[in-house]
A and B are shown apart, each in its own frame.
Chain A
């Protein structure tokens, strides 16, 4: 594209004006390249500065005693006798077990996936395969609209409207529980799963469908046995992305889960998630205290979880594209 510009044939005969022009081009290109570093820099700075504040846990003797790794991840005798897992970092004897937070996060996330995956994937299958063109063109912006609702509004809706319904339907004791938070989360991740699945399904070449139909398969057989398997890695990527969003989503869980550090697999109990713990406790914590470092340490874990999930998802998305374009060509 710029061959003639960057490689002059007779370099010494350039006029001073042309040389200045060339220099200016180089400076501009350099500045633009420099700007491209910000994305990488942001990602690296995030991990450095979140980890840096978490490091206090391991550097400071007092913090090492108060919140050691064994106290975070193994059962502790609280108060005496029975081993237990508690998250009470501001009590007289701080109890800092991460296990209730993991259980809470897992519970709400699993509920949301059980609801959002079938809805999102089947909805996408309908939009990509069965819906008439008009309906499909209506469906996509509507789901984009759902994606545009701020999560604090979804949390508000879960808290004010869904809580009574969920409590009555499932006969729960508490209005705020893991089930409610999971259902609220589902609202936030359905659009993600729908959009990415739909992209994967529409990326399947027409020739696949035509071949299947020509062999006598019905449209649903084509959709179910040809298009869906061909798009499978992309749909898996959609689910993994949704999972990552559900783990990291804060406001909905904060508002709807009840935020108690109970360990139980009952969906009617309150739950406390990793992200909501940071949001709820960071405001009142003393900068530099063990509790403060602990919250940043949770942040590091969230960053790492979602980083791994994102890398997996992008590998699978690329695999769909490569499989379909490579296979068709």
Chain B
């Protein structure tokens, strides 16, 4: 190839790849701008604190915000101990080249790739029909109490879905704790569990928190798994029990966007709901990024 052609091809390829990167960023900007522009005016104090009115043509979205918060809180409480301890096993306790650890890793990778709607089916088949019915039978409930969609089952379904997120980020956090800290603790006569509780876990805490926040932001936005495990179309009352159905920001968005009798009338409310959901997930992601960069800087400063 002549030098001129070479340079031209090089320039073309470089601009082509730059264009691809630019298109991705531009699309993101368009989405954010469109939603912010159309939704911002409607996000008022009343909107955030009132229940919907007039067949969801007016009022606010407080029950949906509350439902989303309750759901993700329960999910976090369920997923964190299991996820963190699984990661602790993989990084601190598993013998090197352990077959069991390898199988656990493969399972976690595959769990991360299972479609979210299949988690919904699993929640229905396992939690509601198997565990729920079993509990009703064991407790002697005449009517369905546990064997119906509700807050608890939806939370547990989401907990299974976010398990890989927590395991992977906790393992990364454990890897960042210097080996010296462990050996120093053990040399002072501490047992392995004491080392874990007083040295390793506190050292990995920021990373573990990052994992928690990422899991929450992922779980808060998922709709498919809660479609038939607990989300409800319209409930002006807040959920009071673990078996209550609940409203959810994402499900509310889906229902209003696809089943509203008058899309034009609900459009402003819909945009504001989407904006709230988006701000919520972005705020959580941002918190995760901040914790991560802070820890990295601290780790870099220590060495």
Q: Name A residues whose Cβ lies closer than 8 Å to a Cβ of B.
A: 1-2, 5, 21, 24-25, 28-29, 31-33, 35-40, 42-43, 45-46, 49-50, 52-53, 118-123, 125-127, 129-131, 139, 141-146, 148-157, 159-161, 187, 190, 194, 218-221, 223-224, 241, 244-245, 247-251, 254-255, 275, 278-279, 282-283, 287, 295-296, 299, 302-303, 306-307, 309-311, 313-314
Interface string of B96-117 (1 = CB under 8 A from A): 0000110110111111111111
Tell me the bound Cα distance from A39 to B165 in angstroms: 12
Q: Which residue of B is nearest A46, CB measured?
A: B122
Q: Which residue of B is nearest A43, CB measured?
A: B107
Contact B27 A187 (CB under 8 A): yes
Chain B: minimal CB distance from A7 (Å): 13
Q: Which residue of B is nearest A127, CB measured?
A: B21
**Cβ contacts under 8 Å, A248 to chain B:** 113-118
10 A–B pairs (Cβ distance < 8 Å), ordered by A: A1-B186, A29-B93, A38-B82, A39-B86, A40-B107, A53-B124, A156-B257, A157-B34, A251-B223, A307-B114
Q: Which residue of B is nearest A191, CB measured?
A: B24
Tell me the bound Cα distance from A154 to B27 in angstroms: 11
Contact A122 B16 (CB under 8 A): yes
Contact B126 A250 (CB under 8 A): no
Q: How many residues of B contact A (CB 8 A)?
A: 89
Contact A156 B253 (CB under 8 A): yes
Contact B130 A49 (CB under 8 A): yes
Tell me the bound Cα distance from A50 to B119 in angstroms: 9
**Cβ contacts under 8 Å, A255 to chain B:** 254, 257-258
Given A32-B89, A157-B35, A278-B121, check contact A40 B191 (CB 8 Å): no
Q: Which of B25, B113, B116, B191 contacts A142 (CB 8 A)?
A: B25
**Cβ contacts under 8 Å, B18 to chain A:** 126, 130-131
Contact A49 B221 (CB under 8 A): no
B28 within 8 A of A: yes
Given A123-B17, A310-B113, check contact A36 B35 (CB 8 Å): no
B65 within 8 A of A: no
Chain A: minimal CB distance from B94 (Å): 8
**Cβ contacts under 8 Å, A157 to chain B:** 31, 34-35
Contact B258 A159 (CB under 8 A): yes
**Cβ contacts under 8 Å, A307 to chain B:** 110, 113-114
Q: Which residue of A is nearest B86, CB measured?
A: A36
**Cβ contacts under 8 Å, A303 to chain B:** 114-115, 118
**Cβ contacts under 8 Å, B94 to chain A:** 36
**Cβ contacts under 8 Å, A187 to chain B:** 27, 31
B52 within 8 A of A: no
B160 within 8 A of A: yes
Contact A53 B17 (CB under 8 A): no
Binds A, one of B239-247, B274-282, B295-303: B274-282
Tell me the bound Cα distance from A299 to B227 in angstroms: 15
Binds A, one of B6-14, B42-50, B204-212: B6-14
Tell me the bound Cα distance from A143 to B29 in angstroms: 11
Q: Name B residues whose Cβ lies closer than 8 Å to a Cβ of A.
A: 6-7, 9-10, 13-14, 16-21, 23-25, 27-28, 31, 34-35, 81-82, 85-86, 88-90, 92-94, 100-101, 103-104, 106-122, 124-126, 129-130, 160, 163-164, 167, 182-183, 186, 191-193, 217, 220-224, 227-228, 250-251, 253-254, 257-258, 267, 270, 274, 277-278, 281-282, 285, 289
Contact A148 B107 (CB under 8 A): no
Chain A: minimal CB distance from B35 (Å): 7
Q: Which of A38, A49, A250 contacts B86 (CB 8 A)?
A: A38
Q: Which residue of A is nearest B27, CB measured?
A: A187
Tell me the bound Cα distance from A245 to B112 in angstroms: 10
Contact B82 A40 (CB under 8 A): no
**Cβ contacts under 8 Å, B221 to chain A:** 148-153
Q: Which of B24, B100, B224 contacts A194 (CB 8 A)?
A: B24
Q: Which of A50, A129, A149 contacts B31 (CB 8 A)?
A: A149
Contact B113 A244 (CB under 8 A): yes
Chain A: minimal CB distance from B176 (Å): 17
Contact B223 A314 (CB under 8 A): no
Q: Which residue of B is nearest A37, CB measured?
A: B104
**Cβ contacts under 8 Å, B217 to chain A:** 148
Chain B: minimal CB distance from A22 (Å): 8
Tell me the bound Cα distance from A126 to B100 in angstroms: 39
Chain B: minimal CB distance from A286 (Å): 13
**Cβ contacts under 8 Å, A118 to chain B:** 20
Contact B125 A130 (CB under 8 A): no
Q: Which of A122, A156, A310, A311 contacts B270 (CB 8 A)?
A: A156
Tell me the bound Cα distance from A139 to B28 in angstroms: 12
Contact B126 A153 (CB under 8 A): no
**Cβ contacts under 8 Å, B119 to chain A:** 46
Chain A: minimal CB distance from B229 (Å): 10
Contact B117 A278 (CB under 8 A): yes
- 10 tightest A-B contacts by CB? A248-B115, A150-B221, A122-B20, A126-B17, A35-B85, A220-B10, A36-B89, A49-B125, A310-B113, A250-B224
**Cβ contacts under 8 Å, A282 to chain B:** 120-121, 124, 227-228
Given A122-B20, A149-B31, A303-B118, check contact A33 B89 (CB 8 Å): yes
Contact A139 B25 (CB under 8 A): yes
**Cβ contacts under 8 Å, A311 to chain B:** 110
Contact B257 A25 (CB under 8 A): no
Chain A: minimal CB distance from B12 (Å): 9
**Cβ contacts under 8 Å, B257 to chain A:** 155-156, 159-160, 255
Q: Which residue of B is nearest A186, CB measured?
A: B27
Tell me the bound Cα distance from A275 to B223 in angstroms: 13
Contact A53 B289 (CB under 8 A): no
Tell me the bound Cα distance from A144 to B121 in angstroms: 28
